[in-house]
Structure 1
Amino acid sequence: MSHTAHIRSHRKPRRSASTIAMRAGVAGGVLSTLAVAGASGSANAAEPVTQTLELPTLTADLAAQVAQSADVTQQAAASYQLQAERDAAAAKAAKQAKTDLAEAKKKAAEAKKKAEEAERKEAAERASRAAERTTLSVSSDTGSSTGTGTSSNTSTSTSTSTATGSAAAVVSFVQAQVGKAYVSGATGPSAYDCSGLVQAAFKQVGISLPRVSQAQSTAGTQVGLDNLQPGDILYWGGAGSAYHVGVYVGGGMFVGAQNSSTGVVEKPLSYDPPSGAVRVL
């Protein structure tokens, strides 16, 4: 055996004839295909290919649609703006209405308060006048029940001199009003209340007296009931808080607008004894 017999041969094995023929056929097919393709390519190269891209054309209809869309957008914007303005105006009106309502309620409350105060004041005045008339009525009944004895005592303690001058004019005026009606707050000439009669009497001689009994009871010099003169103002109640006034006419008599039942009367002092007197003349 050769010394190289155990070494693998580096030579390639021989291919069979069939294999070689098959591979040659395949190669030939490929070459023929390439030849045909090359010929076709050469023919096509002689005729250049042109490709056209058609862009959309802005037609009249499309332009109209675009314009219409713009108009719609503008109208929508205007509508939104108008609505916003209306909302703002409504909010402002609501705020003003709320303010006006609050002011109206405040004024109504103030008016109601004033009306209630006026009503309370009027009720108090009515009650005061009612109490005054009740007191005068009770005093009148008391004077009548005491009889002539009190009248005699009072007559001897007062002046019986005849009035002259301004005092005579005052006396004459009040006596001329006897028989007229008593009306609270009246100052003549057809009706009087007590202080209205006294004020009207002194007005005849140019003397302006306060309107109410309380003020008239301090309008002159205080005098004692045992030193009365015609024309003196008589009062019932306290000086400065009197509830009734009249005029002393002499001879133990006085004239006064007593109440709605009697009207203006001339009565003796015993009929309703006064609390005090003031001299103005």
Structure 2
Amino acid sequence: MSHTAHIRSHRKPRSRTASTIAMRAGVAGGILSTVAVAGASAAANAAEPVTQTLELPTLTADLSAQVAQSAEATQLAAANYQLQAERDAAAAAAAKEAAKDLAAAKKAEARKKAAEEARLAAAERASRDSQRTTLAAAADTGSGSGSVSTSTSTSASTATGSAAAVIDFVRAQVGDAYVSGGTGPNSWDCSGLVQAAFRQVGIDLPRVSQDQSTAGTQVSLDNLQPGDILYWGGAGSAYHVAVYVGGGMFVGAQNPSTGVVEKPLSYDPPSGAVRVL
């Protein structure tokens, strides 16, 4: 054999002491024990049911707050309805009071108008009385052409033709009301009646008494004929007109108190007369 030949080592194998073996066995046993315990614990946990408990203290408090808010909102709505009802009642009362005030104002205006018409009628009567006094004085002093005679030469004459138609019309309106500005058919003022009467025979007279007093030929009050237009006041400034119907009588829309009447000339002596027929 060569002297270089491999010679097996004669080193002694390491001896494992009992303590080392025991420790390793202990470690292994501990690990296995831990694994066994963990597995058992997992199995036990898997076998037990899971129970959860939910507590709702916050939800209950929120619900109470919502209920309180709802009750408050209901009370507020009821208060608003009550306030609106009170406002509506107040508005209705105010409207009713306004209607009463309007009615009272209309009544007051009607009374004022009636008083004004009465005043105008009184002024008209006073003016006629003054004219009557003047004419009577003139008659007493024998002033001739300005005097009024109820026994004129034509007082007994009978109207014919157009004059008869005019007279028939005005007499048919006797009893109608006097209304300022009235032109018929059931209410008249003085010039409205005269204008309508002469329209029956195709004569178109001016609308107002001032113009009607100059519409024809001036005639003497001592020479009146049926159908002549009588006027009170001055020619061109007359404040009243009527129609002479013969027999010392005239028909005219006098005033709101009397309406349309037939009266003798002595009742209200005229100032003058014009003839258009």
Give the TM-score normalised by the residue count of structure 1: 0.48
**TM-score normalised according to structure 2 size:** 0.49
